[in-house]
Amino acid sequence: MVPLKRRKVVSSGAGSPGGPGDTGSTGSTGGPGGGEERTRFPQVVLFLLERKMGSSRRAFLSQLGRKKGFQVEELLSERVTHVICENNCGDEVRTWLRLQGGGRTSAQLLDVSWFTDSMRAGRPVDILDGHKLQEQQIDDAEGGVFSVPSYACLRRTTLENHNPVLTDALSLLAENAELSDEDGRGVAFRRAAAVLKALPEPVTGAAQLRGLPCLGGHSLRVITDILENGASREVEFTKQSERFKALKVLTGIFGVGAKTAERWIRDGIHNLHQLQESGQALNRAQQAGLDHYDDLQQPVTRAEADAIGEVVEEAVVSVLPGAQITLIGGFRRGKLTGHDVDFLITHPEEGREVGLMPKVVTWLESQGFLLYQKTTRNSYLEAKAGPARPPSNMDRFERCFSIFKLADAEKRGRKRAGNAPEDTCCPAAHSRVADEGPEPVKPAGGPGRWRAVRVDLVVSPVSQFAFALLGWTGSKLFERELRRWAGRERAMSLSSHALYDSKQSRYLRATSEEEIFSHLGLEYIPPSERNA
């Protein structure tokens, strides 16, 4: 009876706007099995609680309800009149609602029996005592204490993580899967880790996890191992494995992906020394990656990101006055360190941004700021990406992958302090870089000290700016989940360029991230809470 549908559907969301197609139309043709899904009962708005019901059963029942002409919301909102629950008691549901921030709902809290009776009758039946949620749960031990929605874009994930041991373990397995060309498994581990990141407290026993989404058997085994034995054998084994260690070291070189690393390992290359000895041909990016390996392994601090931001801003406004730069990626989400620094550049007048990147790069190069750069051209064309071909996940912006040469903090500070007052607020570019020109060998110390930092620059036309900002702020999993939500729950296709609505066969415009969330029927989540 329960369909074998694998689709995961959201379990909740607090105070979000209702989905599309929910205006109270009274037209009624939605008979059993009919393709039409019209609202027959405008006064009745259902929300099915995924907790303990499970996502596939919830999806099945939601679809059934809609077929019968009921309005079924994906998200909990003020419009909801009936919350349908299965195997939950009243107290539990009220607690859960409170935790979701959706606190005081005036909706009826009903057992699924009311729903099935109504389906049978083809209309909302009168609410009998037996339909109301029982106040006491008989088998209290069965329920987990946490509940989170299954889509990461419905959750607020701050940088505060109460379960770092568990999430580190799952992230390591995710990384191992990704490096081994097993992306599906990688995503499964990432999703599981993200669910744990969203929990308000440390997990102390596996029983607490019952009912949580995205925790498959494999992830649960790893978690249980750690909770019971202090460590997971699989994680420890992976960490120690020569293959994993080699993949980590080699893909740690900028410009080297999993495929290349795999090939090198087959040729017996497991570390940097062996790579250098092997005489392998390296492309320009890989050579630069190898040259600056140690620097690029060091996390970039926020202060360094800001110093680079000043340089990029100076470059951008001197080649195109009025152009604007925005810090994106992890730093925009409030992270204190990153593996690189990402900037989005635009100009408020559409079209003025064309040709901007090469000029910025030339400026930066002329000032000695770039140790390496590769620029790709903008290849996005809406007409081509359109309905027949929904926008792919690949970004097609004009983009520059670079390695910056950043003078160390002391030198930056000294130069700034020594400069004229007007230079303090807008220091000359050369005050922040070694002035000595290209330096193939890094000095150990002294006045010429600098470090290499990975910097990504992206140029977007202002009409796509909000989409680019949303797409480049991350986290990667948050982005993936937004796209999954758009496709599965809204029949829309989201990219860093645009949002396409397949039902209306048109693009939906937006000038802010808030508008995009609203198009998607999602509550707005600020960058600091996108750390899924």
Helices 302-319 and 409-418 cross at an angle (nearest 10°) of: 50
In the set 30, 186, 329, 427, which binds ligand UTP (CB under 6 A)?
329
Q: Is 340 a catalytic residue?
A: yes
β 370-376/398-407 pair status: antiparallel
CB closer to ligand UTP out of 330 and 391: 330
Reference 482, options 467, 494, 472, 473; nearest CA is 494
Of 278-286, 331-339, 376-384, 500-508, the segment contacting ligand UTP by CB under 6 A is 331-339
Question: Torsions phi, psi of 371, nearest 5?
Answer: -90, -25
Does 342 bind Mn ion (CB under 5 A)? Our answer is yes
Nearer to ligand UTP, 118 or 326 (CB): 326
Q: Please tell me which residue in 111, 291, 340, 408 is annotated as part of the active site.
A: 340
Determine if 471 is a binding residue for ligand UTP (CB under 6 A).
Answer: yes
Pick the closer one to ligand UTP by CB: 149 or 474: 474
> Which C-beta is closer to Mn ion: that of 94 or that of 339?
339
CB of 475 to Mn ion, least distance (A): 10
DSSP for residue 279: T
Residue 185: its H or E element: helix 183-197
Torsion of CA 145, 212, 195, 482, to 10 degrees: -130
213/474 with CB nearer ligand UTP: 474
* Residue 436 Cβ vs ligand UTP, minimum distance, rounded to whole Å: 29
Q: Are 169 and 222 in contact (CB under 8 A)?
A: yes
Q: To the nearest whole angstrom, how small is the minimum distance from the Cβ of residue 460 to ligand UTP?
A: 12
Of 249, 240, 238, 257, whose CA–CA distance to 185 is shortest?
238
Which of 476, 491, 503, 504 binds ligand UTP (CB under 6 A)? It is 476
Q: Of 199-207, 249-257, 290-298, 335-343, which segment contacts ligand UTP by CB under 6 A? A: 335-343
Q: C-alpha angle 401/403/286, rounded to 5°?
A: 80
Q: Which of residues 375-404 bind ligand UTP (CB under 6 A)?
A: 395
Which conformational region is residue 351 in: left (phi greater than 0), alpha (psi within -120 to 50 degrees), or beta? left
Q: What minimum distance in Å lies between the beta carbon of 342 and Mn ion? A: 5
Considering only 472, 485, 500, 507, the residue that binds ligand UTP (CB under 6 A) is: 472
Least gap, CB of 471 to ligand UTP (angstroms) = 5
Pick one of Mn ion, ligand UTP, none as the site partner of residue 476 (Cβ within 5 to 8 A by kind): ligand UTP
Taking CB under 5 A as the criterion, which residues in 305-334 touch Mn ion? Answer: 329-330
Q: Does 175 bind ligand UTP (CB under 6 A)?
A: no
Contact, 225 vs 233, CB < 8 A? yes
Contacts of residue 191, Cβ cutoff 8 Å, sequence gap at least 6: 152, 214, 477
Q: Is 248 helix (H, G, I), strand (E, B) or coil?
A: helix
329 vs 427, which CB is nearer to Mn ion? 329
Tell me the CA distances in angstroms from 106 to 19, 102, 296, one per residue in order. 19, 10, 55
Contact region with ligand UTP (CB under 6 A), list: 240-248, 254-262, 474-482, 511-519: 474-482
The per-residue DSSP string of 414-435 comes to HHHHHS-HHHHHS--GGGGS-T
Catalytic machinery residues: 340, 342, 456
Q: Residues in the site for ligand UTP, rule: CB under 6 A?
A: 329-330, 335, 338-340, 342, 395, 471-472, 474-476, 479, 496
